[in-house]
Every structure is written in structure tokens, then in C-alpha cells.
């Protein structure tokens, strides 16, 4: 029997409550699909600051790098907001991403059919359900290029530089193609190749890599058009792959068309199998400790963990199906509650999903 090592970074606020439910579901899935999971807790964010004085202890980096996968709750909260930037909980999050060499950020924008009403988009635009994956390059491009202030024609000015190396584009393109291969086999590469040189290199490189993926249908779109199409006709997309800044913007746009922050998972991947999986929402300090947080984003992050790091696709599918079933049956945490639903708390939602596996 395979046994996987999973590090839990429960973090702050609602982090521990939602990770508890995700572990419940992962345990049930492991039992059903006959593999083992060994958990190790490690400190990150505010919890780490309180116990060790720093947001990312060395031990956490070592444990995460040795693991098969890392599951994170959320970090941060008002208690640590007055600390200097590099000692804040969020610095721990950026630190662990870079220490694990995670260069690809995957954000599904998924609308389960029973939650269609929570989308700001009309039902006929969404269709039965909607399932888009945005793959964002995370460690290159204009956010990391040369920047500064200088004088131009005697006037004060500022500049930022967009730069990508061919290997940087190749590796993110492969994440895009591999993801598409595991889903609807359609990849849309988003750039601004009509204007930007880095985008022209991006497009050339993606086209060259596509030769390795004859089973994936590749298309290209300019970013401005993509921003429009996400709202006009989101059903046309399966996987979108794009650079750091475009991905930052488009992944937020895509996730909000689903309308429910408590439902959305994410994955950050590097060159190995090991990845970091977390809900896209924050630590929600306003509801922490009340037992009302929605654990589904974290539970769906476990599904991504199974798909991308542990390569247990059937187990991943089983979790998604269980979530869909529980929603179909009308169970809702307060954040997604609507008239006629059955209101449940965090732990009940975890129990219900686990029972459906
Ligand atoms: P970040 O840490 O990314 O800056 P934030 O502080 O902007 O996040 P969140 O912590 O995500 O925002 O919370 C935003 C709002 O959404 C809050 O009112 C919070 O209670 C709610 N919320 C976030 N996650 C959940 C969840 N899992 N279940 C229910 N409500 C949630
Ligand atoms: Mg927050």
C-alpha cells in the first residue's frame, strides 16, 4: 500500500477549523482508495510568529520540502498587522512558495450547478455548470523584472520590465498542457503578442511545446479579449495559461464569476510533484472560532492535491463528486445559504462530504 507524507500548515483564523474537515475527507478517501497518509503539522504565519518569533521557521521549510504535498489553511489576522512587512504572516506564505520553488499557480473557477444563482453571470451564460482552470506563471515577468525611477526628457519617470527566459516559458507551458490533458484537453494561451516582445517569445515557445501534446487543442488569445470573453462566454474555456501579471488579473476575474469565495481551491506547483494546496480565501478572522466557516474550498484543495501531487485521480474525482452531491442535497454553510437550503456548520459539512466518499 502506498503511503504519502502530507504536511499540514493550519495557519491562523479559520485555518485550523477548515483543515480539520479537509483531513477528515482525505482520511476517508485514503481508506476507500487504499492508500495511506501520514500527517505532519508545521508552523506558518501568525501561529509561527507566536511560537518562534518568525513567520516561516526553518523547520517548516525542511518538512515541506521533504513532503509529498503540503495543505495550507490560511494565514494572517489583525493581531499581526502592525508588525514590519518582512515579519508578517503573509511574508511566511511568500517565503514558503519560493523555498519550495513553486512557479505555477493553478486556480479553478468552478460553479457547481446548485450554486449557479450565486454567480453574477446569468444562468444562460454559465450553462449547467462552469469549470475553468487558470494557470498563472508565478515567479517571473514584470513583477520580478528590473524596475526603477529615472529622468526622461527632464521629467521624473518610472519603469518596470517584462522579461521571460525560454526555459521559464517552457516549464509553465508544460504545466498548462499537462493540466489540459487531465481535463477537457483544450488550452488557451493568453498574451499580448501584438504589442509586447516578451509575449511574442511566449507565443512562439508555447507553439513549439505544443508539438509534445498533439492530443491537446491549443488556441491563443490577447489578454484584453480574454478579459472580455470570460464574462461574455466563459464556457469556451477549459485551461488558460498565462504570464504572471495577466494571470494575477484573470484568475481573480475568473474566480469571482463563481461568486463564492468559500468554494474555491488553488494549487501552486514546481518542477517536482510536491505542491502547495490552499483555499483562495483568507483567514477570515471575523468568523474564526465560530464553527461556521465553509470548509469546501479546502476540501476541494485536497482534491487538487490528490490530482497533482499524489497522482490519485480517482480519489480526486470522488471528492469533487461528493461535494457536488452534498450541495445537490441542499446542505449549505451560512456563506452560501439561500432560501430552502439546509443550514449546516463547518464540522457537519465535513462529515457530510466524508460520508459521500
Ligand atoms: P486575504 O487574507 O487574502 O487578504 P481578506 O482578509 O481580504 O483575505 P478573507 O479572509 O478571505 O479576506 O475574508 C473575506 C470575507 O469572506 C470575510 O467576511 C470572511 O468572513 C469571508 N470568508 C472567507 N473565507 C470564508 C469561508 N471559508 N467561509 C465563510 N466565509 C468566508
Ligand atoms: Mg485576511
- Span 218-251, pLDDT tens digits: 999 999 999 999 999 999 999 999 999 999 999 9
> Measured from the CA of 284, which atom of ligand 1 is nearest?
10
- Smallest CA separation from ligand 1 atom 21, residue: 284
- Span 105-116, pLDDT tens digits: 999 999 999 999
pLDDT category at 259 given cuts 50, 70, 90 is confident
Which amino acids are annotated as binding site for substrate, given as ranges? 97, 107, 136, 224
- Span 61-102, pLDDT tens digits: 999 999 999 999 999 999 999 999 889 999 999 999 999 999
- Assess whether the C-beta atom of 346 lies below 6 angstroms from ligand 1: no
- Span 310-354, pLDDT tens digits: 999 999 999 999 999 999 999 999 999 999 999 999 999 999 999
Helix orientation angle between 296-308 and 313-328, rounded to the nearest 10 degrees: 160
User: Which long-range contacts link 268-271 to residues 24+ away (Cβ below 8 Å)?
Assistant: 268/97, 268/100, 268/102, 268/104, 268/105, 268/106, 268/138, 269/102, 269/103, 269/104, 269/106, 269/175, 269/308, 269/309, 270/100, 270/101, 270/102, 270/103, 270/104, 271/101, 271/103, 271/171
Q: What is the DSSP track for 205-267?
A: HHHHHHTT-TTSEEEEEEHHHHHHHHHH-GGG-SEEEE-HHHHHHHHHHHHHTT--GGG-EEE
- Greatest Cα pair distance, the chain, in angstroms, is 70
- The C-alpha cell 481551491 sits at 265
Q: How far does the centroid of ligand 2 lie from the alpha carbon of residue 60, in Å?
A: 22
Q: What pLDDT was estimated at residue 287? A: 98
C-alpha R_g of the chain? 20
Q: What pLDDT was estimated at residue 260? A: 84
- Assess whether the C-beta atom of 284 lies below 6 angstroms from ligand 1: yes
Helix orientation angle between 15-33 and 346-356, rounded to the nearest 10 degrees: 10
**Which residue in the list 224, 273, 317, 343 is annotated as catalytic?**
224
The number of beta carbons lying within 10 Å of the beta carbon of residue 53 is: 9
Q: What pLDDT was estimated at residue 39? A: 98
User: What protein residues have CB closer than 5 angstroms to ion ligand 2?
Assistant: 76, 282
* 13 burial via Cβ count (<10 Å: 0-12, 13-18, 19+): buried
Q: What pLDDT was estimated at residue 117? A: 87
Q: Is ipTM > 0.90 here? A: yes
Domains of the chain: 1-102+270-357 (3.40.718.10), 120-257 (3.40.718.10)
Residue % of the chain over a pLDDT of 90: 95
- Span 155-210, pLDDT tens digits: 999 999 999 999 999 999 999 999 999 999 999 999 999 999 999 999 999 999 99
Q: What pLDDT was estimated at residue 225? A: 98
B/e letters for 122-158, b = 16+ CB within 10 Å, e = fewer, are: eeeebeeebbbbbbbbbbbbbebeeeeeeeeeeeeee
Residue 118 has pLDDT above 90, yes or no: no
Residue 258 has pLDDT above 90, yes or no: no
Which residue from 174, 146, 182 is spatially nearest to 162, judged by alpha carbons?
146
Q: What pLDDT was estimated at residue 274? A: 97
Q: Work out the mean pLDDT of the chain and round it to a whole number.
A: 96
Amino acid at each position: 500500500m502506498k503511503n504519502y507524507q502530507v504536511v499540514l500548515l493550519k495557519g491562523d483564523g479559520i485555518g485550523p477549523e477548515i483543515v480539520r474537515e479537509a483531513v477528515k475527507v482525505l482520511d476517508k478517501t485514503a481508506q476507500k482508495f487504499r492508500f495511506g497518509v501520514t500527517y505532519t503539522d508545521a508552523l506558518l504565519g501568525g501561529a509561527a510568529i507566536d511560537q518562534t518569533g518568525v513567520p516561516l521557521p526553518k523547520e517548516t521549510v525542511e518538512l515541506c520540502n521533504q513532503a509529498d504535498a503540503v495543505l495550507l489553511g490560511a494565514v494572517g489576522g489583525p493581531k499581526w498587522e502592525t508588525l514590519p512587512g518582512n515579519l508578517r504572516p503573509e511574508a511566511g506564505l511568500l517565503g514558503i512558495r519560493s523555498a519550495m520553488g513553486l512557479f505555477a499557480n493553478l486556480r479553478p473557477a468552478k460553479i457547481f450547478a446548485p450554486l449557479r444563482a450565486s454567480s453574477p453571470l446569468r444562468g444562460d451564460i454559465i450553462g449547467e455548470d462552469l469549470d475553468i482552470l487558470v494557470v498563472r506563471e508565478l515567479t517571473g515577468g514584470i513583477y520580478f523584472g528590473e524596475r526603477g525611477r529615472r529622468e526622461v526628457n527632464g521629467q521624473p519617470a518610472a519603469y518596470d520590465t517584462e522579461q521571460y527566459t525560454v526555459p521559464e516559458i517552457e516549464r509553465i507551458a508544460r504545466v498548462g498542457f499537462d493540466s489540459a490533458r487531465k481535463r477537457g484537453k483544450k488550452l488557451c494561451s493568453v498574451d499580448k503578442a501584438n504589442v509586447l516582445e516578451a509575449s511574442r517569445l511566449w507565443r512562439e515557445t508555447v507553439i513549439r511545446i505544443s508539438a509534445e501534446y498533439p492530443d491537446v487543442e491549443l488556441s491563443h488569445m490577447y489578454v484584453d479579449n480574454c478579459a472580455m470573453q470570460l464574462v461574455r462566454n466563459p464556457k469556451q474555456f477549459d485551461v488558460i495559461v498565462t504570464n504572471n501579471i495577466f494571470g494575477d488579473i484573470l484568475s481573480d476575474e475568473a474566480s469571482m464569476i463563481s461568486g463564492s469565495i468559500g468554494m474555491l481551491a488553488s494549487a501552486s506547483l514546481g518542477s517536482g510533484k510536491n505542491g502547495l494546496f490552499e483555499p483562495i480565501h483568507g483567514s477570515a478572522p471575523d468568523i474564526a472560532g465560530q464553527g461556521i466557516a465553509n470548509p469546501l474550498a479546502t476540501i476541494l484543495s485536497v482534491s487538487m492535491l490528490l490530482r497533482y501531487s499524489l497522482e490519485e485521480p480517482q480519489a480526486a474525482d470522488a471528492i469533487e463528486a461528493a461535494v457536488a452531491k452534498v450541495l445537490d442535497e441542499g446542505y449549505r454553510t451560512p456563506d452560501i445559504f439561500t432560501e430552502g437550503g439546509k443550514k449546516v456548520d463547518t464540522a457537519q459539512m465535513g462529515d457530510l462530504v466524508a460520508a459521500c466518499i
